[in-house]
Amino acid sequence: QSMLSQPPSASGTPGQSVAISCSGSSSSIGSNTVNWYQKVPGAAPKLLIYSNDQWPSGVPDRFSGSKSGTSASLAISGLQSEDEADYFCAAWDDSLNGWVFGGGTKLTVL
């Protein structure tokens, strides 16, 4: 029932760069900003990027976000083993009048 679409998996080797996409609609990503989160088992989801491309305090600039039309992307450069986690996107949806989320992308660092 995810309203935003993400690839289920992504992978890369240490030092490489990887991008995770998030596709929505005109009422969600097309009209509002996108936020990205990192989820590690047993821990609370951590905000990585807000308002499409802004960094919360403490998040390294290896993580970057962008948005174009009804799609958004999270890029991770200089992959590290600790980046292995689930990543999900979120946006407000004007039709639902509520939040919608991506299904999550499991990133594996090979």
Partner 1 sequence: QLQLQESGPGLVKPSEALSLTCTVSGGSVSSSTYYWGWIRQPPGKGLEWIGSIDYSGYTYYNPSLKSRVTISVDTSKNQFSLKLSSVAAADTAVYYCARTTMDLSYYYYMDVWGKGTTVTVSS
For the chain, give the longest Cα–Cα distance: 40
Q: 90: exposed, middle or buried (C-beta count within 10 Å: 0-12, 13-18, 19+)?
A: buried
Least distance in Å: CB of 74 to partner 1?
14
Q: Does 68 bind partner 1 (CB under 8 A)?
A: no
Assigned token pair, 36: 């990205």
Tell me which amino acid residue 104 is: G
Residue type, 6: Q
Residue 24 binds partner 1 (CB under 8 A): no
Applying CB under 8 A, among 50, 59, 70, 94 the residue interacting with partner 1 is: 50
Closest approach of partner 1 to the CB of residue 38, in Å: 11
Return the number of the residue (56 or 69) whose C-beta is nearest partner 1: 56
